[in-house]
Structures are given as structure tokens and as C-alpha cells.
Amino acid sequence: MSIPVSVQIITLNEEANIADCLESVLTNDPAEVVVIDGGSGDRTVEIAKSRGATVLTPGRLGRGASRILGYESTELPYVAMVDADDRLESDWLRTSLEQLQEGDYAALQSSLRTVSLRNFWEKGWNEYFIESIKPNSDVVMVGHPAIYQRDALLNASRDVGNDHEDTQLSIDFQAKGFRQGIGTAISHRVVPLRAGENFRKWGAYGRGYRDLVRKHPDRKPAIVKHILVTIPLRRGWAPVRRGRPLQPLFCLLMAGSILIGFYARQSHDD
């Protein structure tokens, strides 16, 4: 019997990732798989349809609006939000749903690891995931991949932007008193292998944080502390005790790139 969850993936030109992502999703036997495509110019939609996914093609709505379209388009009681670069372990969905139900969570994120450990960047991301995404019965922020109660999503604010849409959703859940946590199920993620790709990704994180502060100005001190203290110090130095001496360098590069993105054009925003 399939698991009563709608697994939803938003895509834009994910031809290189979507087949492997869907293969890992299908091994979890969900009742439904939905791909919400933002106007891909490659074979993403074709591949998703060939793997049996229901494909919605609304065009470039943005990440937040695409997520809303997805969970409003299903009748199933639970929704799992997955990204195309995620690779779920075969018991991910069952474990996540059981823990969501047992803890009466509105949202439950999974633990993360990288798909492989081939170079400095993959090893750095893997240690970052280990240090920053730990099983926790109660948290205020939930990222992806994660599983949600659909009723909670339907009660969430629709004012969700294109960047850090998961963070914006968590802020809304926190304000409503919905329980959020991090479970023990593990997903693996494909991460950038080259310096330039990582710097661009982190710069985009910073711009996303800047936009988040524009929407929630009271969050600025916490976000700045996260960039300046949590990433380079707490998450950079703890892995050294596990024999990972290069992790402080990885986290300094991450924090610096995020900071540049965060303050880029800041004078126009304030």
C-alpha cells in the first residue's frame, strides 16, 4: 500500500538531476509525485513525465508561488517538499511520516548528507550538514527536504517570496504556534563541485537573506549573527575535533560570500 503523501518537486532546467531524484522518490512508494516546472527549456518535463510524475507547467511563478500551487493541487493529507538535487534514502518517507505523526508536527525536516565526498567542496558541505542539521524535537526553522501536514500549509500565509521560501514558511509556522522539528531520516544532496559555483550559490543565499530582512526587519540581528558567528565559528570549528581541519576555511568562504550577497546594493534597500 502506498504512503499517503504527495511528494512535490519544483524545477527549472533540472535535466541533469530530475531522473535520479525521481528514482529515489519512487523507491519510497508515495501515493503521488508532482513536479511543478517553472518553464524549463531542457528535457526536465519530458523526463519527469516519463517517470510517471504529474507535471504542472504554470511558468515562472517563483519558488514560493510554485510551492503553494503544489500543495493546493493535492487532496492528500501530507506533502513532502523535495528539491531536484535531493536523493532520498529508501525509508525516508515512511520514517519521516511516522515521526511527523508521533510528534504532532506541522513540519519535519530530514537530516542531510552529500551524495559523495570527492573533493574539498563536497566534504565541506557534508560536515556543514552534519553540524547544522541535527535531529531535534523542536526547532524554529525547517528547510528541505521536509514533510508537512497539508492542513498546516493551507493555513499558512500566502505572502511567500521567491528566495528562502522555506524560511518564510517556518517564520509563519512559528508565529502560529505550529510545531517544527528535524527527524532522523536521511537524504543526500548533490552540491556544487567548483569554487565559482559555490560562491554564486552562497551569494544568492545572501541576497535571499537581504530580501527576507526587508519582509521581516526584526529578523536582521539574528540573520547577521548567523552569518558572522554561527557559520564561521560554531559550524566551522566543531568539525575540527572530528579530524576535519579544513572546515573552518570552507565556512569562512561560505560566510564571506553570503555576507557579500547580503550587503550588495544594501544602500538602495535601506
β-pairing, 3-11 with 78-83? parallel
Least confident of 66-75, 198-207, 209-218: 209-218
Query: In this predicted model, what pLDDT tens digit does every residue of 220-230 receive, in sequence order?
Result: 999 999 999 99
DSSP β-bridge partners for residue 82: 9
β-pairing, 146-149 with 78-83? antiparallel
What average pLDDT is seen over the chain? 95
* pLDDT exceeds 80 at position 100: yes
Cis ω for the linkage preceding 221 (within 30 of 0): no
Query: In this predicted model, what pLDDT tens digit does every residue of 55-83 receive, in sequence order?
Result: 999 999 989 999 999 999 999 999 999 99
Residue linked to cell 517538499: 81
Single-letter code of the amino acid located at 89: E
Considering the domain 3-193 in this protein, what is its CATH number? Answer: 3.90.550.10
Grid cell listed for 63:
519558488
Task: Kindly tell me the number of DSSP H helices and DSSP E strands found in the chain.
Answer: 12, 8
β-pairing, 54-56 with 146-149? unpaired
* pLDDT exceeds 70 at position 270: no
pTM above threshold 0.75: yes
- C-alpha 205/C-alpha 259 separation (Å) is 9
* pLDDT exceeds 60 at position 266: no
Grid cell listed for 1:
500500500
Q: Where are the domains of the chain?
A: 3-193, 194-270
Grid cell listed for 244:
576535519
